[in-house]
């Protein structure tokens, strides 16, 4: 049996929730409502409250840390002053979602729509503007969030995973890279270059090696719950603060100390890529201002790194010897291609 007091309490709770819903959905600092407007909107929801009742409910909301702001006087207006996130903060999140390559268009649109619910109806259009050039190369994989969830679950449970890794073919279709499933030990998700990568350890012919995989190119992920994850010793060797910057293009391999001769103008781009943990000194063998400095930094000497150094312009690889030889070989091969073209 429901007592009268319980009915009254249920009605009071409903009135308070209706008032909060009106303030949350319809008001903000730039769009306050008068008491009459609040009452009308509550009536539309099926709740009829006097002005005194609404004022009491506002006091209760304030006691529950809901910041109901209001002006004074006969024509007082009210609005909700505190929200989980400000519209400027939400705009940054929305821009990041729209800019992210790994979040597909449909998923991004759905996420943005949910974020809009955190603002008043009057502010939601603020999140609709696009930043130029953001969504030209969105992923085709609409199960990306499921992939992230499964990988994280595998990391939490410390188990290996199997999956099919995809590649683009000449018909611009994603197809399996191999007819065999990849089996790896997942250790971490890495966000870099606007994409998610899986950092994993793979057992290759009895040797544990690092591997990176684009999460948006992974399908059919399965947790191998009857197996134990490997690679703890290997993972302990990495430095989280420098790992990504030293592996341009997410190439795996051993880090080397790279020395280049360059001008002072090249210090900035190198710091931007590798951080301030570099060494700069005068070049004792300088011939002109373009190679007046020796700059040392640590990186994986991949083809991406060599191409990046070429793109800087007046930068000469000094060492190690093998990296310098790789650079010379790359330049010769590239030059030969253009020579053949006349």
pLDDT at 10 over 80: no
Whole-angstrom Cα distance, residue 288 to residue 306? Answer: 23
Share of the chain above pLDDT 90, in %: 54
> Where does CATH 2.30.30 sit in the chain?
144-238
Whole-angstrom Cα distance, residue 291 to residue 309? Answer: 14
Whole-angstrom Cα distance, residue 166 to residue 178? Answer: 8
Class in CATH terms, 144-238: mainly beta
Nearest-CA neighbor of 103 among 132, 61, 133, 146?
A: 146
Pick the CATH number of 9-80 from 3.40.50.300, 1.10.10.10, 3.30.9.10, 1.20.950.20: 1.10.10.10
Mark 16-29 as b/e (b = at least 16 C-beta within 10 Å).
bebbbebbbebbbe
Neighbours of 112 (CB within 10 A): 17
> CB neighbours of 83 closer than 8 A, spacing ≥ 6?
118, 119
Residue written as token pair 């301030």: 276
pLDDT at 280: 93
Pick the CATH number of 256-340 from 3.30.70, 3.30.530, 3.90.930, 3.30.43: 3.30.70
Collapse the DSSP code of 159 into the 3-class scheme (helix H, G, I; strand E, B; otherwise coil) and give the result: coil
pLDDT at 236: 81
Count helices and strands (H / E) in the chain.
10, 13
pLDDT at 7: 33
Residues 93 and 108: beta-carbon distance below 8 Å = no
> Where does CATH 3.30.70 sit in the chain?
256-340
Between 256 and 254, residue with greater pLDDT? 256
pLDDT at 1: 33
Whole-angstrom Cα distance, residue 91 to residue 127? Answer: 6
Q: What pLDDT digit, counting tens, does each position of 122-181 carry?
A: 999 888 765 544 555 566 556 788 898 999 999 999 999 999 999 888 887 889 999 999
Neighbours of 66 (CB within 10 A): 17
Average pLDDT in the chain = 86
pLDDT at 25 over 90: yes
Name beta bridge partners: 222: 162
Q: What pLDDT digit, counting tens, does each position of 294-312 carry?
A: 999 999 898 989 999 999 9
Give the helix ranges, DSSP H, for the chain.
4-26, 35-44, 51-63, 87-99, 105-116, 144-157, 232-236, 267-274, 303-312, 321-340
Whole-angstrom Cα distance, residue 253 to residue 211? Answer: 9
Whole-angstrom Cα distance, residue 220 to residue 279? Answer: 45
Residue written as token pair 């990568």: 197
Collapse the DSSP code of 236 into the 3-class scheme (helix H, G, I; strand E, B; otherwise coil) and give the result: helix
Name beta bridge partners: 296: 259, 279
pLDDT at 321: 95
The DSSP line for 117-148 is: TTS-TTTGGGGG---TT-STT--S-TTHHHHH
Pairing of β 207-214 and β 195-204:
antiparallel
Q: Evaluate if pTM is beyond 0.85.
A: no
Q: Supply 284's token pair.
A: 């004792």
pLDDT at 135: 52
> Where does CATH 1.10.10.10 sit in the chain?
9-80
Rounded (10°) CA dihedral 258, 263, 264, 267? -30
Q: Which helix (H) or strand (E) holds 256?
A: strand 256-262
């Amino acid at each position: 049996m429901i007592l009268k007091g319980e009915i009254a309490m249920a009605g009071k709770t409903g009135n308070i929730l209706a008032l909060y819903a009106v303030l949350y959905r319809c008001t903000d600092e730039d769009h306050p409502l008068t008491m009459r407007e609040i009452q009308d909107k509550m009536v539309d929801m099926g709740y009829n409250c006097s002005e005194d009742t609404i004022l009491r409910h506002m006091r209760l909301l304030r006691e529950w840390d809901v910041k109901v702001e209001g002006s004074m006087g006969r024509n007082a207006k009210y609005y909700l002053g505190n929200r989980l996130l400000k519209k400027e903060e939400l705009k940054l999140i929305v821009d990041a979602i729209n800019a992210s390559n790994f979040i597909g268009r449909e998923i991004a649109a759905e996420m943005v729509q949910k974020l809009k619910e955190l603002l008043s109806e009057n502010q939601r259009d603020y999140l609709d503007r696009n930043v130029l050039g953001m969504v030209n190369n969105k992923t085709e994989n609409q199960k990306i969030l499921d992939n992230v969830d499964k990988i994280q679950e595998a990391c939490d449970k410390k188990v290996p995973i199997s999956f099919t890794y995809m590649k683009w073919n000449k018909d611009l279709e994603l197809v399996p890279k191999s007819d065999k499933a990849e089996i790896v030990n997942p250790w971490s998700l890495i966000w870099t270059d606007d994409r998610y990568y899986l950092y994993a350890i793979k057992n290759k012919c009895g040797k544990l090696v690092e591997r990176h995989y684009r999460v948006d190119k992974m399908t059919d992920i399965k947790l191998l719950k009857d197996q134990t994850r490997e690679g703890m010793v290997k993972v302990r060797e990495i430095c989280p603060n420098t790992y990504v910057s030293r592996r341009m293009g997410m190439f795996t391999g051993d880090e080397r100390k790279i020395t280049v001769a360059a001008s002072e103008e090249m210090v900035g781009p190198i710091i931007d890529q590798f951080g301030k943990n570099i060494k700069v000194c005068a070049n004792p063998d300088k011939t002109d201002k373009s190679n007046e400095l020796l700059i040392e930094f640590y990186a994986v000497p991949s083809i991406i790194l060599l191409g990046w150094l070429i793109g800087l312009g007046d930068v000469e690889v000094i060492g190690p010897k093998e990296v310098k030889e790789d650079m010379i070989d790359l330049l010769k091969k590239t030059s030969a291609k253009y020579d053949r073209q006349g």
